[in-house]
Amino acid sequence: MDELAGALQKVGLDKVPAEPNTYPAHNPFDLFRSHVTELLAKSSGIDNKIIYPTLQKTSKSEHGDLQLAVQALRQKRKDMAEFAKELADNFPESPLVDKPAVTGTLLNFFYKPEPLSTLVLPNILKSGPTYGFSAAQHLGLKDPADPSKGRKKIIVEFSSPNIAKPFHAGHLRSTIIGGFLGNLYEGAGWDVVRMNYLGDWGKQYGVLAVGFDLFGSEEELVKNPIGHLYDVYVKISKKAAEEADVVKAAKEEIAKGEGANTAELEAKIKEIEENGVDQQARQYFVKMCDGEEKALGIWKRFRDLSIEKYKKTYARLNIHYDDYSGESQVKEESMEEAAQVLQEKGVSEVSDGAVMVDLTKYSKKLGKALVKKKDGTSLYLTRDIGEAKQRMEKYNFDKMIYVVASQQDLHLAQLFKIEEAMGWTDISSKCQHINFGMVLGMSTRKGTAKFLDDILAEVGEKMHEVMKTNENKYAQIEDPLKTADTLGISAVMVQDMKGKRINNYTFDMDRMCSFEGDTGPYLQYAHARLCSIRRKVIAAHPDVEEVDLATAADLTLLKEPQAIGLIRELASWPDVLLNTVKTQEPTTVLTYLFKMAHALSSSYDHLQILGSERDVLLARLALYTAARQVLNNGMRLLGLNPVERM
């Protein structure tokens, strides 16, 4: 703040403008908004509190930086256009903003270029990786007025694949969006618990164990646990289906009643019903439920090896979990406790031997939900109820987000409603389902992709091909395969986060890997280009390496509209971040980054660096360094790995 006060003194402001709950030292827009508010309050007599929220960021630069619709000031005036003119006329001279331009009933405020560059660029250069995030830290505080009370805690549950089943598009999107949300809340000062809730329990894990006995290979399991368990599962499921067919056919034959070989057929049926896959799996799962060591040991090994492998793949996406939970981790006691509350509160009812909750009394759409099967076993929903309670006990969270495909809208709506009906409002009021649409046509050359690694490998290969088409550049890259891998991952992630979450999109390998259009490789290219500019400057002027651009560059030399336009974009990053916390949409960040990258690429022709006079060179380098920082901060928030060369 002292630094800002000093800088403002230089332009003739003896006090830092700061309306309540604003962070002018971290957010340039807070500074300008507060300043305009103060001046307008003084000149019009209207209360600051009314003015501040009416100052909106404009969407087009022709309309200035901030826009105010005078109706929003809620003053009793007949002629609003005249009121606007009057406010503009009375607005005093300011070192930071021009007198507002009036269009109809709108006041348009333009920041003055000089203070914009001299205040904003040093701020970005000094804050570095925290620029933007430092303006959002208060959001995660339990009490923004008293940071010593600590941070709020959020659980972000995401990815949550099922062991021995394919990692499908829903898991891919959950992984990408959830990774982003974890970063977002962390960036906004929350204490984040990243949680993976594995599908790792149920009779199918009995099936898997039986299958492993028949088709499994120890060597394969260790080498490629996820792929191998899936293969085993496919084989054993086929065998189980065949057995079921045999039983069905035999029963039909018996029903026809020819009678000749009935005894033989009955024996066949008996054999399968007693010793077939289905029965063995059932028995196996019962042993697992009873906590029998040997059965659990095998299952646990499958789980551990799978997690180990998942971890490696997630790491490629910059994702690390704090907690690998899963359906298996829900304790019988937790579900018992829930069942009791359900019953006591009259929420559940017994129907045909099973227990269910009739949610139609809250809303028709919610339907009826089964919480206990006739045989007494739990369901997916039951486990989620018990798990929520356990999570609250373990983490005492302030908020919990489930990042799950919109196919499960009903499931989560039922879950939250049941919790509420049980009186567990301490949990239900803190939970949110973050949903998303489907990926269409997610297939690769090898057919429909099944595992995350396969998808990433294919995209990496594709990216490698694209890179090879530019021989010159390709030759300069140190480790082209690694770069291709990183670019491929960016391609997949950006394609996924480009639109609103709820929209479906088509998995289009050619488009996402292109350097043109709003793609991951395009963003990476923008970042790499900024890095290369700096490398070139330093190669030509080695002493620049040591120069502290934030203090040494004369930023008033940045006068070109392209430079000012770019600084305006950079200045708005903290606001974009705050807005992203509201929308919880990665597209809020991406739309901004693409806009910024476009402003960048159209500035290069006008803002040459090499060959410019030293003062100009330093000022422009400061601008590009700040731009690289903002791009980098945004890309990391999305979970991308910004590359320095490509």
Which CB sits closer to ligand ARG, 354 or 410?
Answer: 410
Applying CB under 6 A, which part among 59-67, 101-109, 157-165, 505-513 lies near ligand ARG? 157-165
Instruction: Give the number of residues in contact with ligand ARG, rule: CB under 6 A.
Output: 8
Q: Which is nearer to ligand ARG, 417 or 527 (by Cβ)?
A: 417
Closest CA to 35 of 51, 18, 21: 18
Residue nearer to ligand ARG on the CB measure, 452 or 618: 452
The residue written with tokens 């995660």 in the block is 140
Residues 6+ apart with CB under 8 A from 145: none
Least distance to ligand ARG, CB of residue 445, Å: 26
Q: How many CB atoms lie within 10 A of CB 528?
A: 19
- The answer to whether residues 578 and 138 touch, using CB atoms and an 8 Å cutoff, is no
To ligand ARG, the closest distance from the beta carbon of 405 in angstroms equals 8
Pair 95, 12: CB distance under 8 Å? yes
Q: Please confirm, yes or no, whether 171 is among the known catalytic residues.
A: yes
Instruction: State yes or no: residue 199 binds ligand ARG (CB under 6 A).
Output: yes
**Residue closer to ligand ARG, measured from CB, 160 or 483:** 160
CB of 160 to ligand ARG, least distance (A): 4
Catalytic residue among 26, 152, 168, 228: 168
Q: What is the DSSP string of 146-167?
A: -GGG-B-EEEEE----BTTS--
Catalytic residue among 171, 417, 462, 527: 171
If the CB atoms of residues 50 and 392 are measured against ligand ARG, the closer one turns out to be 392
| Letter string b/e over residues 564-584, b meaning 16 or more CB atoms within 10 A of that residue's CB | bbbbbbbbbbbbbbbebbeeb
In three-state secondary structure terms, 362 is: coil
What residues from 212 to 271 belong to the interface with ligand ARG (CB under 6 A)?
none
| Spatial separation of the C-alpha atoms in residues 622 and 311, rounded to whole Å | 39
Q: Whose Cβ is closer to ligand ARG: residue 232's or residue 403's?
A: 403
Min dist. Cβ of residue 435 to ligand ARG (A)? 11
Q: Is 569 in the site for ligand ARG (CB under 6 A)?
A: no
- State how far the Cα of 3 lies from the Cα of 280, in Å rounded to an integer: 73
CB of 327 to ligand ARG, least distance (A): 7
**Burial of 172 from C-beta contacts in 10 A (0-12 / 13-18 / 19+):** buried
Chosen residue from 117, 162, 196, 348 binding ligand ARG by CB under 6 A: 162
Residue from 111, 128, 107 nearest 44 by CA: 107
| CB closer to ligand ARG out of 134 and 162 | 162
Strand order in the sheet with 106-109: 56-57, 66-69, 106-109, 101-103
CB of 626 to ligand ARG, least distance (A): 41
Contact between 419 and ligand ARG by CB under 6 A: the answer reads no
Residue type, 387: E
Q: What is each CA distance from 390 to 298, 331, 393, in whole angstroms?
A: 25, 9, 5
- String marking each residue 377-406 x if it binds ligand ARG according to CB under 6 A: -------x-----------------x-x--
Candidate segments 62-70, 154-162, 256-264, 562-570, binder of ligand ARG by CB under 6 A: 154-162
Nearer to ligand ARG, 157 or 243 (CB): 157
Considering only CA atoms, give the Rg of the chain: 31
From the CB of 165, what's the least distance to ligand ARG, in Å? 8
Q: How far is the CB of 404 from ligand ARG (least distance, A)?
A: 4
Could you tell me which stretch among 42-50, 107-115, 155-163, 615-623 binds ligand ARG (CB under 6 A)?
A: 155-163
Please compute, for residue 219, the number of CA atoms within 13 A of its CA located in the half-sphere on the CB side. 0
Contacts of ligand ARG in 439-468 (CB under 6 A): none
**Min. distance of Cβ 384 from ligand ARG in angstroms?**
5
Site for ligand ARG in 73-132 (CB under 6 A): none
Residue number, 139 or 288, with CB nearest to ligand ARG: 288
CB neighbours of 466 closer than 8 A, spacing ≥ 6? 513, 514, 515, 521
Q: Is 160 in the site for ligand ARG (CB under 6 A)?
A: yes
The residue type at 67: Q
Q: Supply the minimum distance, in Å, between the C-beta of residue 281 and ligand ARG.
A: 19
Q: Any catalytic annotation for residue 165? A: yes
The Cα–Cα gap between 612 and 608 comes to: 7
**Sole window of 100-108, 156-164, 179-187, 309-317 interacting with ligand ARG (rule: CB under 6 A):** 156-164
Burial tier of 232 (Cβ tally within 10 Å: 0-12, 13-18, 19+): buried
Closest to ligand ARG by CB, 23 vs 201, is 201
Residues ≥6 apart with Cβ < 8 Å to 490: 520, 521, 523, 524, 640, 641
Query: What minimum distance in Å lies between the beta carbon of 299 and ligand ARG?
Result: 16
Q: Is-catalytic flag, 238?
A: no
State the catalytic residue, choosing from 165, 300, 500, 541. Answer: 165
Q: Is 197 in the site for ligand ARG (CB under 6 A)?
A: yes
Residue 312 neighbours by CB under 8 Å, 6+ apart: none
Q: Which amino acid is at 45?
A: G
Question: What are the percentages of helix, strand and coil residues in the chain, rounded to 5?
Answer: 60, 10, 30
CA distances from 334 to 84, 329, 386, 597 (A): 63, 10, 5, 51
Residue sitting closest to ligand ARG (CB):
199
Tell me whether residue 131 or residue 205 sits nearer to ligand ARG (CB atom): 205
Question: What is the rounded CA–CA span in Å between residue 343 and residue 348?
Answer: 5
Positions touching ligand ARG (CB under 6 A) are 157, 160, 162, 197, 199, 384, 402, 404
Active site residues: 165, 168, 171
